[in-house]
Each structure stands twice: as structure tokens, then as C-alpha cells.
Amino acid sequence: MPPHLPLTPLHPGAAVALVVNAGSRRGAAALPDVRRLLATAGPRRLDVHPVVRGADLRPALEAAVAGGPDLLVVGGGDGTVGCAADLVAGTDVPLGVLPLGTANDFARTLAVPTDVASAVDALRTGHVVDVDLGRADGRVFLNVASLGLSVGVTQRLTARAKRWLGPAAYPAATLAAYRHHRPFAARLDFPGGDHAPLALDDLLQVAVGNGVHYGGGNAVSPTASVDDHLLDVYAIVRGRLRDHVSIARFLRDGSFVEHERVVHLTTRAVTVSTDRPMPVNLDGELAAGTPTAFAVERNALHVVVPAHSTAARLDGRDGPR
């Protein structure tokens, strides 16, 4: 972390910008408490930017950043946080995350509490670390980019389902998507030369992970990290139903990557091409399409993590070579 960045950016005298996506699962209900709790910390300036419509999110974030805050606090789900990360990546503005969405996988990776009061307190007592960002043809993703089954899941995850079912909406949507999945073939090329090209057939899914968690708490792999300067890449080959049930049992801890029908490797860059054009899911948003070039942007984002968080255990190191 650069020495001029404060260890605890939420302090008396700080200029704080707050953007809350009121359309996120808990955003509207949490806004009054968040505003009050932040004000209690005694910042010299607190600029609040509530967002009601999705189309207003980026303009609100741009306005917040243009105000020159010492800390940008964002309340919402992974899509909201990802949009903010894209704007402050490469700058000195640290990002504080309030998990007000459905999955909140980036907040889970950082060990940010889901309780609003505890999450705000973590901004006051925590510290700033550097984490990596994933890029898919230049577009940011925090957690995982994927194609195949996950796209079908995203298409079935309606706002109403997420609001009413919460995290339970993910397994329900996965089951529905699995029933209608069409297998595909993919080629993986590695511009860094660290792996030979891979041609894979009869696939269920290909995923490229930057963070640790995705899909409401599943783990990318047992060794995944948000600051190891590597992407975790896995491909699931279609099999019998019992194979997929076996894989699903180990999604939570990431050990599914050891299954015989899963190909797993790490790299800094990979290009994925498919036998037909396919949409790519970036942290729950369909925002790209194959062929897609994926890369990791090292130490791109300053984020506030709780004092006890081990999310950025490699912070300040060069990481794997």
C-alpha cells in the first residue's frame, strides 16, 4: 500500500462520499442507518448520493469521485461495487464496501460483516489494502467471469427472485438452467506462454476467477486469493447427473476443482474462444461475449477491510512469478 494512503480512512476530518444503490436487496431500507452511522464518525464532509434506477448508478459514482473524497463508500451488491471499482481503480481513492445486495461475494472475500452497523464500524477500525482486479476485454470483474451454465443462471435470477428468496435464489436458478443447458466446446490460449493451448469439448461451464467467492458463497478454489496476481481458470466437462451432484457437494470450499471432470489451472492471462458466440457473465452481469481476453490487473484497487480480515494476506508482496 502506498505510504500516503491512510490506514483508517473513516476518521474525523475525512471527506466521505456515500453512494447507495436503493435498488439493491437491502439498499433502500439501510440508507438512513448508513447515513447516520457514517455521520457519527465525524467526517468533515459527507456527500450522499442515493441511486434509485440502475441507469443512474454510474453518473452518481462519477459525481461522487469528482468531489475528491478521501473515502468512497458504496452500498449495494457486487454489480454496484464493481462499477465503483472500475472508476477508482488506479487512483488513490480507497473503496469502502457495504454489503447490501443478494450474494455480496466481494464483501465475503474481504470478510466485511453483513450487519450494517458492523460494516460501518469496520470502515472506522479497519485498514486499507491493495487487491487485484480481473479484466475481460477491459471490463472489470471482482469475483468471477464465466460462460455456459452460469449465464443461464443469471438469466433466471430475476430481481424479484433475489428480493424474495435471497441467496436461495441461486440454487433454484441453477437447477432450472441445468435442465436447459446446451454443451459447448472451447479453446483456451495463454498469451504469457505459461500453459500450452487447451481444446475442450462437451463443456458445462468455463470460469475465470479473480477473487475467492462467487454465486452466493461458493469458492473458486481452495487456494484462490484476491491479491495473488493470478486468475483461477476452471472448466467443467459435462457428465452424468451423479457427476454434477458430486461436483456440487464441494462448491462451497472450492475443492470441486480436484474432480476428474474439472480442469483447473492458474495464469495471469487467458483468451477463451468457443465453437459459437457465447455471452460472458461478469459478476452476475452479462457484459461481454466470446472470444474474450481475460487478464489480472495487479494491486489495482485500494479497499478497506476489517482489522481481522486475512483477505489480502499477500498485500505488499510481489506474489507468484
Determine the Cα–Cα distance for residues 55 and 282; give it in Å rounded to an integer.
18
> Per the structure block, which three cell numbers stand in for 257?
476443482
CB 297, CB 135: distance < 8 Å? yes
Amino acid identity, position 60 = A
- DSSP assignment letter at 260: T
Handedness of CA 97, 103, 105, 111 (dihedral sign): positive
CB 136, CB 294: distance < 8 Å? yes
Instruction: Point out the catalytic residue in the list 258, 260, 285, 297.
Output: 285
CB 285, CB 113: distance < 8 Å? no
CB 187, CB 242: distance < 8 Å? no
Determine the Cα–Cα distance for residues 143 and 82; give it in Å rounded to an integer.
9
Any catalytic annotation for residue 260?
Answer: no
Residue whose C-alpha cell is 435471497: 166
Distance from the Cα of residue 318 to its chain's centroid: 22
Helices (H) and strands (E) in the chain, counts: 9, 17
CB 305, CB 312: distance < 8 Å? yes
DSSP letter string over 51-85? E-SGGGHHHHHHHHHHT--SEEEEEE-HHHHHHHH
Residue whose C-alpha cell is 470483474: 141
Determine the Cα–Cα distance for residues 19 and 72; give it in Å rounded to an integer.
8
Catalytic residues, which ones?
A: 285
